[in-house]
């Protein structure tokens, strides 16, 4: 089977049964041999339909007699694919979007409803002002498709004179429906950012993620990696304040086949994740504990910053994820990393042994929703509360790993105060021998990331990288 829309439908069917979007997509794509542009189209349709699920459901609710949740799940998925192409994919002609969606219905058990599917999509086109044969309309922020015969990002799409969504005035619902986020996430952002910046953040989170890499200075230079990648026609750019970082500008193809990957010259790691290890500022010869280490991006970065001299304990309770860490450290030719399998909340052998501890805590991932299309639907206020309890337990226990005078960095890739500011404030209130310390090492563009309270918060729409929270804590010398 090589029909991109049918493959997208099969993938989405698995997602709606509970599979993670990236896992389901990878499983489907591994079974077929598609041209590059078809692979990108399948990827676009899957991630886009998952991201825009609330908006697409609202369109079904508006134009169909039965609400989206009352439709057969497979039919709902087919309608998502049709509406997604019409609203967000301008280079797909409307007639092609409608006809291929009708065909999907016919081939997947809904031959008796092809007239319904056709009528629903054409009704949307009429309401949108008949932009029809020229393609879809929509708000800003879909993932970019590089192939010239494939869709373009909707940031280049004209917004229709009349939006068939007919959005409510309430700002939470308005932004939630328009940009396809749950109301509770919009509310959290509005409280921190206000209306204008919340909309900017929504648009950023609906864009295609970039791929950043971190060069390994123990065996190469940033200039050498730049030249190697440019020699195969790939464009990269450097990222301010991050001496090891490069960002791909456009499609890369298979990462594992790029120059320098097998040789351990570089590894994939988002820019803001690289900031964390610089904030930790590990030194050669020290003992460092990475308390939640897998899959190892920050662990291997710590080893590089220490010139692979000293001892790094990489701890995680999931053995399979630690195997990925071992593979990465071997590929990067790092010797200083030791593996410990176990829950850091219950590990007692590390007490008062570490010069520095990194607690990259399990979190809701709300700063990386552009990478994880379904994260916005998987997390809930309840799951955030449960995670905050886990984070507090981890911080309380791993702080005992640090020697007097040592450093602990707490980091998450979420933007929820309950997992960040509130966790740190509660810890400091109960821990008189700990205090926030400004960063050392590289400058970290303190004016861009720092807050008056002393912690760091990376807002994606401001810094154009994953959302992150991080804070550096020091244990005073007179602590027991």
- Give the active site residues: 413
Q: What is the distance between the alpha carbons of residues 455 and 364, in angstroms, rounded to a whole number? A: 19
Question: Residue 276 phi/psi, 5° resolution?
Answer: -60, -45
DSSP one-letter string for 431-471: -TTEEE----SS-TTHHHHB-TTS-EEE-HHHHSS--EEEE
Q: What is the distance between the alpha carbons of residues 462 and 464, in angstroms, rounded to a whole number? A: 6
Contact 303, 339 (CB under 8 A): no
Contact 266, 221 (CB under 8 A): no
- Helical packing angle, 114-127 and 53-63, nearest 10°: 100
Query: Integer distance in angstroms from the first to the last C-alpha of the chain?
Result: 65
Question: Residue 180 phi/psi, 5° resolution?
Answer: 65, 65
Q: What is the distance between the alpha carbons of residues 325 and 300, in angstroms, rounded to a whole number? A: 8
**3-state class (DSSP) for residue 436:** strand
Here the tokens at position 156 are 């280049």
The H-assigned helical ranges of 108-152 are: 114-127
Q: What is the distance between the alpha carbons of residues 211 and 234, in angstroms, rounded to a whole number? A: 12
Sheet holding 212-215, edge to edge: 236-238, 245-248, 212-215, 266-268
Question: Residue 35 phi/psi, 5° resolution?
Answer: -60, 155
Closest CA to 259 of 232, 219, 233: 232
Q: Which residue has the tokens 């991630």?
A: 47
Q: What is the distance between the alpha carbons of residues 43 and 28, in angstroms, rounded to a whole number? A: 10
- Give CA separation, 337 vs 265, 301, 319, 333, 348, in Å: 18, 11, 15, 10, 19
Report the 3 state secondary structure along 313-366: EEEECCHHHHHHHHHHHHHCCCCCEEEEECCHHHCCCCCCCEEEEEEECCCCCC
DSSP one-letter string for 212-280: EEEE-TTT--HHHHHHHHHTTT--EEE-TT-TTEEEE-S----GGGSTTTTTTSEEE--HHHHHHHHHH
């Amino acid at each position: 089977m090589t029909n991109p829309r049918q493959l997208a439908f099969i993938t989405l069917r698995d997602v709606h049964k509970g599979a993670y979007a990236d896992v389901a997509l990878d499983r489907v794509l591994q079974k077929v041999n598609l041209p590059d542009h078809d692979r990108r189209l399948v990827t676009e349709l899957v991630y886009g339909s998952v991201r825009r699920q609330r908006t697409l459901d609202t369109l079904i609710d508006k134009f169909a007699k039965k609400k989206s949740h009352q439709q057969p799940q497979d039919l709902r998925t087919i309608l998502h694919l049709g509406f997604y192409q019409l609203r967000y994919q301008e280079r797909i002609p409307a007639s092609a979007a409608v006809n291929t969606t009708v065909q999907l219905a016919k081939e997947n058990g809904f031959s008796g409803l092809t007239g319904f599917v056709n009528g629903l999509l054409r009704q949307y086109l009429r309401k949108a002002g008949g932009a029809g044969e020229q393609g879809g309309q929509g708000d800003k922020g879909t993932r970019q498709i590089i192939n010239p015969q494939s869709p373009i990002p909707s940031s280049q799409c004209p917004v229709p004179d009349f939006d068939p969504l007919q959005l409510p005035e309430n700002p939470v619902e308005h932004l939630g429906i328009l940009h396809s986020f749950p109301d509770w996430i919009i509310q959290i952002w509005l409280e921190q950012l206000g209306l204008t910046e919340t909309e900017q953040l929504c648009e950023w989170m609906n864009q295609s993620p970039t791929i950043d890499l971190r060069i390994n200075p123990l065996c190469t230079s940033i200039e050498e990696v730049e030249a190697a990648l440019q020699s195969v026609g790939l464009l990269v750019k450097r990222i301010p304040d991050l001496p090891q970082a490069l960002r791909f500008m456009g499609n890369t193809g298979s990462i594992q086949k790029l120059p320098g990957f097998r040789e351990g010259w570089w590894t994939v790691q988002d820019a803001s994740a690289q900031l964390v290890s610089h904030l930790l500022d590990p030194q050669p010869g020290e003992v460092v504990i990475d308390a939640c280490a897998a899959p190892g991006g920050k662990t291997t970065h710590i080893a590089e910053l220490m010139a692979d001299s000293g001892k790094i304990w990489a701890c995680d309770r999931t053995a399979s994820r630690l195997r990925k860490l071992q593979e990465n450290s071997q590929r990067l030719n790092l010797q200083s990393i030791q593996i410990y399998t176990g829950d850091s909340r219950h590990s007692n052998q590390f007490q008062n042994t570490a010069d520095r501890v990194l607690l990259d805590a399990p979190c809701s991932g709300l700063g990386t929703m552009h990478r994880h299309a379904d994260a916005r639907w998987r997390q809930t206020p309840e799951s955030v509360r449960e995670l905050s309890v886990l984070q507090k337990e981890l911080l309380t226990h791993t702080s005992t790993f640090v020697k007097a005078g040592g450093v602990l960095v707490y980091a998450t890739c979420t933007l929820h105060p309950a997992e960040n500011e509130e966790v740190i404030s509660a810890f400091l209130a109960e821990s008189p021998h700990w205090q926030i310390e400004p960063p050392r090492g590289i400058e970290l563009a303190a004016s861009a990331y720092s807050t008056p309270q002393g912690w760091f918060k990376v807002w994606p729409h401001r810094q154009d990288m994953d959302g992150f929270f991080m804070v550096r804590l020091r244990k005073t010398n007179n602590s027991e």
